[in-house]
Structure 1
Amino acid sequence: MTDITDFNASELSDRIHNGQISCTEVMQAYLQRIDMLNPRYNAIVNLAPADQLMAQARQCDEELARGQSRGWLHGIPQAIKDTGHAMGFPTTFGSRLLAGQMPRADSIMTERMKAAGAIVIGKTNMPELGLGSHTFNTLFGATPNAWDTSVSAGGSSGGAAVALAQRMLPVADGSDFMGSLRNPAGWNHLFGMRPSQGRVPFGPGADVWVDQLGTEGPMARSVQDLARLLATQSGRDRRQPLSINAALDVSGIQYTPDALQGLRVGWLGDLGGHLAMEDGILGVCEDALRAMQNAGADIEPTAPGFDTQALWECWLVWRRALVGPKAAALLQLPHARETLKPEVLWEYDNSVKLSYMDFQRASQQRTAFYNHLLQMFERFDVLALPVAQVWPFPLEERWPQKIGERQMDTYHRWMESTIYATLAGLPAISLPAGFHPTKPWPMGIQLIGKPQGDVALLQVAAAYEAVRSDWLQRRPG
C-alpha cells in the first residue's frame, strides 16, 4: 500500500475530500514521519505539540462530516518558512536575537494558506536573516541535503526543500531574493518558483514601496501542486500597494507535452564565460534542454547582450540598500554585533557607504536591463540558465571560496546566476535537470518567463514534467 506521505498535496486533497483518508490519519502519518526523520535532517523547527495538531485535524474532519470544506488544503499539514509570520510560532529568521519574537498576526501568505485549509504545524529552517544559499544558523543548526547529508541543502528555503523531498511535508512555501526558492529546489530534485514581483504580496513589512526584490512563492514535487499553491498565495492585498491585481487562473494548464511544440528557448549557459561554473553543470542542463527539444522545442544558444559585470555591481547596490536597514534594526539590540553572522555585518557596513546617487544609478541600470530583456522576449518565449554554479558543497563550509580557479569575491558570488530574474521582476521556475555523474546530488535548470507570464511558465513546466515523468519520480533514500 502507498503510504499517506507518498501522496502529493493534490492527491491528498482528493482523498480527504472523497472520504478515503481522514485529516487525523494524514496528520498522524506526517507527525510520525517527522518524528522519524527530522532529527537527522533538521528541516522543521518549532514544531507544535502533537496533541494540539491532532485536535485541529479532528476539527477539520468534523467540518467535512458536516459538508464544510475550507479549501483544497483542508486539513493538510504545512510548515511556514521562518521568514513568514504564523500565529503561535516565533518568527526567528534563524537568528538567536529573535528566538522569542512572537508575531501579532499572520503574514499575508500564511493567512491565505490557512484560509485554503492548511494546518500550520511549525516553521522551516533557514540561514540567519536568509543571507547565503546554505541553510545553517547558530539557533537551530544546519539542514543537510535530502539526498546526501554530508552536503548543503541550499537556501534560504533549505528547510522547506528538505522537508518536502523527504516527505515530511506534502507541499512547501518559501521566499526568494537571490534564488532562495530556486536553488534549494534545484539541489533537492524539486520544482521551485519565484513568481512575478507583486504576484504574492510579501508582508506586510516596514517598507512597501522600494523593498521589491524579495518575494514569497511555492515549492512542490509536482507542477500541479506548484500551480495550485501559487494560485492560493496570489492576489492583490491593499497592504501591499504594488501587488498585482489580477487573480491567477491555473485551471487551464494542460499536463501534456504539447506546450513544448515550437517553444522558443534562449539558452544563456554561463553567459559567455562570465559565470564561473563547476564541471558537469552545463551538461546536465543541456540534457534537460534536449528532452524539451525532443518534444518539439527550439533551443537556441544566445549571448546575454548586456554588461554582466555592470549588472553585478548594480545588484550589489540594490542588495545592500535593502538588506542594510533590516540589519540596522537588529543592531540596536544588545550584543547584536557579536551575535550576527559576518555576512550580515558585511552587508550593513557596505550599505551605510551608499549615497542616493549610487542607488539611483543602480535603479537606472536595472531599468535598462529590464528593457533589454523585453527585446530578448521578442525572439524567445523563455530564457534558460543553470539554477546554481556549483554542486552542493560540504555542510561544514560557509560558502564556496572558489569555482575552479576563480576566486569568489563575495559570499554570494557563486549564486550570480539567480540575480537576473530578480532584478527584472520576472517569473522564474527551477526544474529538476539531472544529477552529478558520480554523486547523488541533484541540479536544476531555471526558466525565466515574460513579464507576469506566470501561467505560461507553469504550462512549460507542466509539459516538461510530462516528458520526464518517470525520471522525475526519483526520490532520496
Structure 2
Amino acid sequence: MKGSTTDTAPVQGAAVHLWSLTAVELRARLLAKEISCREVLDSFQRRIEEVNPQVNAIVTHCPERAREAAARADDRYARTGRPLGPLHGLPVAHKDLVDTAGLRTTYGSRVYAAHVPDRDALLAQRYREAGAILVGKTNTPEFGAGSHTVNDVFGATRNPYDLTRSAGGSSGGAAAALATGMLPIADGSDMGGSLRNPAAFCHVVGLRPSAGRVPNWPSTAPYFPYPTNGALGRCVEDVALQMAVIGVPDPRAPLAAPYPESFDLGGGFEPAGRRVAFDADLGGLPVDPAVSGVLARVPQVLAALGCDVHEGGPGWDGADDAFLTWRAWYQVLCFGELVDEHRELLRENIVWNVDQGRRVTGEDLVRAEKQRNAVTERARAFLDTHEFLLCPTSQVAPFDIGLNHPPQVDGVPTRHYLDWMRACSRVTVTGFPAASVPFGFTDDGLPVGVQVVGRPGADADVLRFAGALQEAATGSRVAPVAHTVDARREPPPRSRPSAGEGSWSP
C-alpha cells in the first residue's frame, strides 16, 4: 500500500478508513510498511476538513508543517529501517495550553491570541521526539478554567453526539477530536477533572496519572500536585502507548518519580477475583438520574467479570474544602498578575478564581492541608483492601453548550462553576491515578463514563482494569456527528449568573 493514494485499509475483510483505526493498529501497519506516514496524515487531514467545522475541536491547524514532517518520517524509515519512535507517524494536536515552538498557542485567551512560543513544552517535545506528527492545537477554555470548552478566541467545542451540548473540558477539544476520528492520539491536562470529564462526555478513555507520573515543564508551581498532564485515546491501549512516552521522569520536574512499572498492558491481566468497590455518589454527591441510571449496571458488569464487588468508598469529608482552598491559592500564583493587568480582557472564570484565591489565609491553608492528608490516608487504607474503586466520572450528562456550567444537579443548585465537578475533584485530592472509561449512553444518546481509581503509582494496572471494563461495557466507537446544527465559530452567549453565583469562600 505504501506510495498509493488510498484512504482505506483492510480490516477483517472489509475496507475501512485509516482515520477510523486505533493508534495501536495504525502503528503496527506503519512499522510493517503497509501504509506510509503521508497516507495516514492525508486520511486524518481529510477527516479534519470534513468534521472540524461542525465540532470546532482543532483550532490552530498546520497542514503544510505536518506534511513536511510526514515526508521526513517516511524518507528516514525507508533509508534507515528505523522508526522515529513509539509514536512514529501518528498525527497529534496538542492542547492549546501546551507551548509549541513556532505554532500559535493562545491558552484560549484574548491576551495571548497572537502568541507564538519559541520553544516546546516538555510534553510537546516528547511527542515530537517519539515520532508523532503535529497537525495543530485543540481547543480549551481560557487557561483551562472550567469543564466546558469555550473561549473568546475560538468559540465553543461541540459534543459530537449532540452538537447543542458541551464536549466537556478543559480538554474538550482533544476528546471531541478523538471521538470523531480527527486524531488517533491526544494529550490533555487535569486538575479537577479537565481530562476525565471530557473523556466521559465524548465517549473516549482518559487517564489522570498518579501525581508525579508525568513531568511538567515549564511550570509555575512545580511542587504543586493537583494539576497534571495525561493522555486520551479511543481505547485503553492507545492511552498506554502515549503514557510510555510521557510518563518518564525529568530532572526539571521535582515531583516526577521513577515509578517502577512499564505501560506494556500484556501479561494476562485477569479481573476475576479482584476485590473492587463501587461508590455510586462519592459519599452523597447529587448525581443526575440519567447518569446514575446508566451506572447502576456497574456492579452487575463487575460481577460478570468475576470481581469481588463491594459498595461504598473511603469517605470524602474535607475533600471539597481541601481542593477548593489549595486550588484558589494556585490560581492567584498563576494568574494574579494577569488579572491585575488585563481584567477587562479575561472571562469570568479566571477573574473569579483569582478573586477567591486572594481571600485565602494561612489558617485556611493549614486546615486544607490537614484535610488533604486525612482524605489521602483514608483512601490509601481503603485501597489496601480494595484494589480498585469505581465511581461516576461526571455527576451530569453533557449539558447545554450555551451554559457556563450546569445550574443544578438532580435538583441541587450549584454554588459555582466547580461545584458539579466534585466526582473528579475529590479524587484529585488523593493524587491517585484515575481513568474515565466509556460505559454507556443515556436514553437521549449522551455518553456516560465511569471512573476507575487505583493505588498510587499503579497507573498501568488502572489501565488494564479499565480495558477489561471497557470491553465488557460498551467497547469503543467513532462518534456520529450530527449535521443538523450550524456550528458557528463565535462563542455562545456567556451564561448569567456568573462563575461565582452563590460564591464559595475558604
Letter in 2 for 1:100: A
Is 1:17 aligned with 2:26?
Answer: no
Shift of 1:385: 1.0
Label 1:299 to 1:166 Cα distance change in 2 as closer, same or farther (>3 A): same
Please show how residues 262-411 of structure 1 align to structure 2 within 5 Å.
262-272=273-283, 274-307=284-317, 310-333=318-341, 336-411=342-417
Is 1:465 aligned with 2:479?
Answer: no
Q: Secondary structure at the match of 2:220?
A: coil
Counterpart of 2:263 (choices 246, 250, 267) is: 250
Following the alignment from structure 1 to structure 2, what is the Cα–Cα distance between the partners of residues 202 and 234? 10
Q: Secondary structure at the match of 1:150?
A: strand
Letter in 1 for 2:61: L
C-alpha distance after superposition, 1:342-367 (max 9, x if no partner): 12111111111112221122112101
Following the alignment from structure 2 to structure 1, what is the Cα–Cα distance between the partners of residues 209 and 316? 23
Q: Indicate conservation of the 8 Å contact 2:323/2:426, yes or no.
A: no
Following the alignment from structure 2 to structure 1, what is the Cα–Cα distance between the partners of residues 478 and 133? 28
Structure 1 window deviating more from structure 2 (341-350 vs 161-170): it is 341-350
Is 1:261 aligned with 2:272?
Answer: yes
Structure 2: runs of 5+ lacking an equivalent: 1-14, 482-506
Label 1:473 to 1:90 Cα distance change in 2 as closer, same or farther (>3 A): closer
Q: Please give the TM-score of this superposition, normalised by the length of structure 2.
A: 0.89
Letter in 2 for 1:173: D
Is 1:475 aligned with 2:486?
Answer: no
Q: Indicate conservation of the 8 Å contact 1:78/1:118, yes or no.
A: yes
Label 1:288 to 1:476 Cα distance change in 2 as closer, same or farther (>3 A): farther
Q: Secondary structure at the match of 2:238?
A: helix
Q: Indicate conservation of the 8 Å contact 1:193/1:219, yes or no.
A: yes
C-alpha distance after superposition, 1:387-442 (max 9, x if no partner): 011111111111111123211111110111101221111000001111011x1200
Shift of 1:269: 1.0
Letter in 2 for 1:170: P
Following the alignment from structure 1 to structure 2, what is the Cα–Cα distance between the partners of residues 229 and 329? 34
Q: Please give the TM-score of this superposition, normalised by the length of structure 1.
A: 0.94
Shift of 1:218: 0.7
Counterpart of 2:459 (choices 449, 454, 458) is: 454
Shift of 1:248: 4.2
Shift of 1:29: 1.1
Q: Indicate conservation of the 8 Å contact 1:234/1:247, yes or no.
A: no
Letter in 1 for 2:289: D
Q: Quick one: percent identity of the two aligned structures?
A: 36
Following the alignment from structure 1 to structure 2, what is the Cα–Cα distance between the partners of residues 406 and 326? 31
Q: Secondary structure at the match of 2:429?
A: helix
Q: Secondary structure at the match of 2:155?
A: coil
Q: Indicate conservation of the 8 Å contact 2:248/2:258, yes or no.
A: yes
Q: Secondary structure at the match of 1:281?
A: helix
Q: Indicate conservation of the 8 Å contact 1:234/1:248, yes or no.
A: no
RMSD: 1.6
Shift of 1:386: 0.4
Letter in 2 for 1:128: E
Q: Secondary structure at the match of 1:149?
A: strand
Following the alignment from structure 2 to structure 1, what is the Cα–Cα distance between the partners of residues 239 and 367? 36
Letter in 1 for 2:343: R
Q: Indicate conservation of the 8 Å contact 1:253/1:462, yes or no.
A: no
Structure 1: runs of 5+ lacking an equivalent: none
